[in-house]
Amino acid sequence: MIDGLRHVGARTVAITNDPASSLAQAAETTLQIYTGTEHSVAATKTYVASVVCGLWWLAKVLRSWVLPLTMPLKKQWWKSVMNLQIKVLTSF
């Protein structure tokens, strides 16, 4: 799958506990997660850490895309709140 993605020009990242694995070798970039040796079900720690890393990365990417879009709304909302406070305070 990684080879196919690279063949069509996709950038590939392997999130793995073993930088010498076939997955890491096939990917363009490797993110080693340093979870230690697996002692029970194979790759359980690697899988969980990969999911956490992936979600963390996704949250950062989405935040960098969404935050600039919402800033004008936040500024307008804050102006409205301040204007409302001024109106309430001056009405007494």
pLDDT per position in the chain (92 positions), as tens?
Answer: 777 878 888 888 888 888 888 888 888 888 888 877 766 666 677 777 777 878 888 888 777 777 676 667 667 766 776 777 666 666 65
Report how many domains make up the chain.
Answer: 1
* pTM over the 0.75 mark: no
Partners of 13 in the beta sheet?
29
Domain extent for 50: 2-90
Q: 54-78: b or e for each residue (b if 16 or more CB lie within 10 Å)?
A: eeeeeeeeeeeeeeeeeeeeeeeee
Note the pLDDT of residue 40: 66
Under DSSP, is residue 20 helix (H, G, I), strand (E, B) or coil? coil
